[in-house]
Amino acid sequence: MSDFTVRSATSEDASALSALASRTFHDTFAGVNSPEDMAAHNARSYGAAIQREEIESPSIRTLLVEAAGQAIAYAQLRQIAAPACVDTQPTIELWRFYVDKAAIGRGVAQRLMDAVLQVAKDVGANSIWLGVWEHNPRAIAFYRKCLFSEIGSHVFQLGADMQTDLIFERALRA
């Protein structure tokens, strides 16, 4: 799958992003979380109106990967206060990073990560950080491969379930 593009999302992408976000989150986590918690998180996070608002937010950058006119992956970076364990400033959070299961293993994730790192540098960040569920070994391995280091943890609420996310950080400038 070498024929794909990475671009900034626009408001017109909100519906496609909503469907992709909901599908990839479900594919990644539904097998190990309750249907009620998944439904609550989906309703709170991935509706088309919510995605449009996030795309239009000046503190969020949304990247979309397309192949043959279809959205196959996305990432969102946001400028928010970082947890105390992130001591390099200024920083930006890699808030969401998902690849459709049919595109996994085809170079999409690495190209998307390259674009994410460029956006982080372009906005002046000296580091980038993220939270990843402690029970997501594939994602943890990918972030380590991309030179992120574990520096702490925080709570992530999925519906009514309080889960632990590991916090990873990567320096962007020497």
Dist. CA 82–CA 45, nearest whole Å: 20
Q: What does the pLDDT look like over 89-132, one tens digit per residue?
A: 999 999 999 999 999 999 999 999 999 999 999 999 999 999 99
Dist. CA 37–CA 20, nearest whole Å: 19
Secondary structure of 116-167 in HEC code, one letter for each residue: HHHHHHHCCCCEEEEEEECCCHHHHHHHHHCCCEEEEEEEEEECCEEEEEEE
Is the pLDDT reported for residue 77 higher than 60? yes
Which band of pLDDT confidence, cut at 50, 70 and 90, is reported for residue 28?
Answer: confident
State both tokens at 4: 């794909």
Look-up: residue for tokens 């994730």? 109
Calculate Rg over the CA atoms of the chain: 15
If DSSP codes are grouped into helix, strand and coil, which group holds residue 99? strand
Domain tally, the chain: 1
State both tokens at 27: 């594919």
User: Which residue range is the domain that position 18 belongs to?
Assistant: 5-171
Q: What is the mean pLDDT of residues 137-146?
A: 96
Q: What is the pTM of this model?
A: 0.93
Dist. CA 76–CA 60, nearest whole Å: 7
Q: What is the CATH number of the domain that holds 113?
A: 3.40.630.30
Is the pLDDT reported for residue 174 higher than 80? no
Is the pLDDT reported for residue 1 higher than 70? no
Which band of pLDDT confidence, cut at 50, 70 and 90, is reported for residue 2?
Answer: low
Name the region of 9 (left: φ>0; alpha: ψ -120 to 50; beta: rest). Answer: beta
What is residue 165's predicted lDDT score, i.e. its pLDDT?
94
Q: What is the mean pLDDT of the chain?
A: 94
